[in-house]
A and B are shown apart, each in its own frame.
Chain A
Amino acid sequence: MKTLRDVKVGDTVQVVKLHGEGAVKRRIMDMGITKGVEIYVRKLAPLGDPVEVNVRGYELSIRKADAEMIEVE
């Protein structure tokens, strides 16, 4: 399974499914990361975590541990 964590900086991917449950999953979805949406991985923070992505036309910061819940293709 390929997750958002594995995506290289500069690549655009499409979300297949969200794993996990509860608060973190809901929060990720509330912010617009839902099935089928395109995510562009813009950069890594200087210390290597979190990652900055562009989704639905805005910039979002997400921790790598949480990015693992997002399955992409």
Chain B
Amino acid sequence: MDKQIRIALAGNPNSGKTTLFNKLTGSNQFVGNWPGVTVEKKEGKLIVDKEIILTDLPGIYSLSPYTLEEVVARNYLIEEKPDAILNIVDATNLERNLYLTTQLTELGIPVVIALNMMDLVKKAGDSINVKELSRQLGCRIVEISALKGDGVKEAALAAIETAKNGRTIPQHSFSGPVEHALAHIEEVTVHDRPEEQQRWYAIKVFERDEKVMEQLKIPADVRAHIEKDIAAAEKELDDDAESIITNERYVYIGQMLKGIYKKKGKGQLSVSDKIDKIVTNRILALPIFALVMFLVYALAMGKSVADGGIAIGTWLTDLANDVLGEAWLKEGSRAILEGWGAAPWLIGLISDGILAGVGAVLGFVPQMLVLFLMLCLLEDCGYMARIAFIMDRIFRRFGLSGKSFIPMLVGTGCGIPGVMASRTIENERDRRMTIMTTTFMPCGAKMPIIGLIAGALFGGSTWIAVSAYFIGVAAIVISGIMLKKTKMFAGDPAPFVMELPSYHLPAWGNVLRGTWERGWSFIKRAGTVIVISSIVIWFLTSFGSVNGTFGMVDALYEDDSLVTDEYVAQVADRMGIPEDEVEPMDDSILARVAQPASVVFKPLGFGDWKPTAATVTGLVAKEEVVANFGIMYAYDDQEGEEELEENGDQIWDKVAEDFNAFSGGHGKLAAFAFMIFNLLCAPCFAAMGAIKREMNSAKWTWFAIAYQCGFAWVMAFIVWQVGRLFAGGMNIVGLVIALVMLGLLLWQLFKPYKEAQKLTVK
């Protein structure tokens, strides 16, 4: 054979497409994204013939130009011209599924139909005359049960055979005026297209499909000519061209099914209907929703099983962190390397830099898997769509989907799975918005920062933690409303007309595979990012120049000829600390860079090198912020003192003293601004990696990170400048700028806004 055969799998969402794809390809799958968009792309080799590639198209209802998934699917079908389309059709929902089929058969690609869930149709006592249906549609039909695996192999073989020598000619025709116009269009505009695609192009031109019109570049005079035909048809049929076509497809399907589909009569409520009656009941829906969310949270991220909670995820992750991360990777590798007599800097790099970083990521994996498992379950059983249904009213105001609730909730545990959970959101704009704003929620690793600030400056007030959550939610709401009015987000329509699929028992194969795919994607992306970033940060904190000699600062400080009393006095002066507090780290590259870089934070009240350096290391992992303060305040747990508490208990006095000193007595305000900035600014590198993975676009990733940092800066700025108006010591210039920023913010929040009608994505 000279050419590789490619088959596309197309069908409605919830038609069993994923199940069929998994059954057809087994473990031979590659998961990625369609270029430049946030839509997932899956390909696999057929089990029955490993030479043949099956491409899983996004689940779609139509080939309109208005949703990203549909545009992605039809571009693939028109431009890549696969050798056959395997169209999965849900027999229990025949009319709407065949609506897509009528469009697929016009593409000039041979179509084979896999008629799924026939067993359920028969069980309900209905009947479908498959032979007649096949004749009328002009394509081969194979009855399958994707869930049980019945007929899957036959469907694959039929698709291969059809790909080799099949042909599908659309059997339906439109009404007289439409066909008249179509004939004209074919004649004057699309004759240069491949013959088998001409009908599809003609119909799209009739529909005035902008994407196709753009592509065809029809001259103005020809356009005016065909416009007359279209207008004539529109006048005669009293509707717009697009609606005429849609309408006639459904009319055609309705008539065709009259003799083919025999329903036993309107049945009673199905099991699914009964479940839904309770689950989305007006009174019970919200309590049930809260309970489900509580369970997801409690099982994955709550109190560990070891501490009397029910969180299997937390328990496994604690185990993994202690055993795998700390004991094996960090200490174990250190022991081995020391045994080999490796140089201290190498041990530092491998054990403290790379392996500690890798361990931190791997430690999270069990928790992620538990979390992803539950999310996949919710999605597979049909509850996820109900979440969107229940929460839509609240979330759409902020340019988000009802399903955004889940990423936000997960984000309070860890931002990485939070960002990844955005994948279930149906609309790309909502998805992007969710990815950008999810990490505003204070995640578990930000808790110690809050603990430090609350303990050191606010007498341990619980209001600080409460305010952190409030700030997180407010940041999401404010950003959502502001961003949806910006150019980046305007332009894409968001019709929220969503199918509520029937509830069914989860297909374990799908759930486990979905869980693993997300888990693996987490390991891969977050892993590589964190390895690189931990090397960089390790380098920045370990190396520096001491008295003119560059090297590892710890080693250089052993050398008394370099570290003279005079030099120590110099360093102490530069960093503004007493001489006996001078540390090797004060000469590290990080400290040197943080010192001048702290200018950036001057207008926020914490323009000192220590909080600056802590903020920078927070990018590796937010837990590092407190640990770093420990190091910078020379808290040394090696010298017989107890280990530094997670919230930095032992250094509270020093922190308070320092914040009060460099902020001119406004320590509380400066510390609060510091906390706001650290809560809202770019998340850790691993979460940024997740953002990059989900955005699948460098432009959007940078936009997201820049927005987060910018937003954090502005918020902290406003708090510090306006706060001093009340606390005293205000700076009039700063105050004016802060008020202008506040004004701009409010203007963006309240300016009128109109939903766009066009999809701008190409």
- Chain A residues at the B interface, C-beta cutoff of 8 Å: 18, 21-32, 34-35, 37, 43-50, 52, 56-63, 66
Q: Are B496 and A66 within 8 A (Cβ)?
A: yes
Q: A24-B495, A30-B246, A45-B280 are in contact. Are A52 and B757 (CB under 8 A)?
A: no
Q: Are A32 and B390 within 8 A (Cβ)?
A: no
With a cutoff of 8 Å between Cβ atoms, the chain B residues found around residue A44 in the complex are 282
Pick the contact of A47: B251, B276, B393, B495 (CB < 8 A): B393
Q: Are B493 and A24 within 8 A (Cβ)?
A: yes
Assembled-state Cα–Cα distance A56/B12 (Å): 15
With a cutoff of 8 Å between Cβ atoms, the chain B residues found around residue A43 in the complex are 280, 282
Q: Are B498 and A60 within 8 A (Cβ)?
A: yes
Assembled-state Cα–Cα distance A73/B127 (Å): 32
Assembled-state Cα–Cα distance A58/B95 (Å): 10
Q: In B76-98, which residues have CB < 8 Å from any A CB?
A: 92-96
Closest A-chain residue to B250, C-beta based? A34
Assembled-state Cα–Cα distance A50/B243 (Å): 24
Q: Are A46 and B495 within 8 A (Cβ)?
A: no
Q: Are B240 and A21 within 8 A (Cβ)?
A: yes
With a cutoff of 8 Å between Cβ atoms, the chain B residues found around residue A66 in the complex are 495-497
- CB<8 Å pairs between A and B, sample of 22: A21-B757, A22-B757, A23-B495, A23-B757, A26-B242, A26-B246, A30-B62, A31-B497, A32-B95, A32-B96, A34-B246, A37-B250, A45-B393, A46-B286, A50-B393, A52-B500, A57-B94, A59-B276, A60-B497, A61-B385, A61-B497, A61-B500
Q: A21-B240, A46-B282 are in contact. Are A61 and B247 (CB under 8 A)?
A: no
Q: Are A47 and B394 within 8 A (Cβ)?
A: yes
Assembled-state Cα–Cα distance A71/B286 (Å): 31
What are the interface flags for B561-592 relative to A under an 8 Å C-beta threshold, 1 for contact and 0 otherwise? 00000000000000000000000000000000
Q: In B116-137, which residues have CB < 8 Å from any A CB?
A: none
Q: In B735-762, which residues have CB < 8 Å from any A CB?
A: 757-759
With a cutoff of 8 Å between Cβ atoms, the chain A residues found around residue B389 in the complex are 45, 50, 52, 61
Q: Are B493 and A34 within 8 A (Cβ)?
A: no
Q: How far is the CB of B307 from chain A (nearest CB, A)?
A: 34
With a cutoff of 8 Å between Cβ atoms, the chain A residues found around residue B498 in the complex are 60-62
Q: Are A31 and B96 within 8 A (Cβ)?
A: yes
**10 nearest A-B residue pairs (beta carbon):** A23-B493, A30-B62, A59-B500, A27-B495, A23-B66, A46-B285, A22-B757, A47-B393, A29-B246, A24-B495
B678 within 8 A of A: no
With a cutoff of 8 Å between Cβ atoms, the chain B residues found around residue A27 in the complex are 64, 66-67, 495, 497
Chain B interface, number of residues (Cβ within 8 angstroms)? 46
Closest B-chain residue to A46, C-beta based? B285
Closest A-chain residue to B246, C-beta based? A29
With a cutoff of 8 Å between Cβ atoms, the chain A residues found around residue B280 in the complex are 43, 45-46, 52
B99 within 8 A of A: yes
Q: In B14-70, which residues have CB < 8 Å from any A CB?
A: 61-62, 64, 66-67
Q: How far is the CB of B364 from chain A (nearest CB, A)?
A: 34
B559 within 8 A of A: no
B227 within 8 A of A: no
Q: Are A49 and B496 within 8 A (Cβ)?
A: no
Closest A-chain residue to B391, C-beta based? A47
17 A-B pairs besides A50-B392, A50-B393 with CB distance below 8 A are A23-B495, A24-B495, A24-B757, A25-B242, A27-B497, A29-B250, A31-B61, A31-B96, A34-B247, A43-B282, A46-B282, A50-B389, A52-B389, A57-B93, A58-B499, A61-B496, A63-B396
Assembled-state Cα–Cα distance A35/B280 (Å): 29
Q: How far is the CB of B656 from chain A (nearest CB, A)?
A: 45
With a cutoff of 8 Å between Cβ atoms, the chain B residues found around residue A50 in the complex are 389, 392-393, 496
Q: How far is the CB of B247 from chain A (nearest CB, A)?
A: 5
With a cutoff of 8 Å between Cβ atoms, the chain A residues found around residue B396 in the complex are 63
Assembled-state Cα–Cα distance A56/B61 (Å): 14
Pick the contact of B247: A29, A59, A63 (CB < 8 A): A29
Assembled-state Cα–Cα distance A26/B251 (Å): 16
Q: A27-B67, A50-B389 are in contact. Are A35 and B95 (CB under 8 A)?
A: no
Closest B-chain residue to A51, C-beta based? B389
Assembled-state Cα–Cα distance A57/B38 (Å): 31
Q: How far is the CB of B511 from chain A (nearest CB, A)?
A: 22
With a cutoff of 8 Å between Cβ atoms, the chain A residues found around residue B240 in the complex are 21
With a cutoff of 8 Å between Cβ atoms, the chain A residues found around residue B759 in the complex are 23
Q: In B217-273, which residues have CB < 8 Å from any A CB?
A: 240, 242-243, 246-247, 250-251
Q: How far is the CB of B457 from chain A (nearest CB, A)?
A: 40
Q: How far is the CB of A40 from chain B (nearest CB, A)?
A: 10
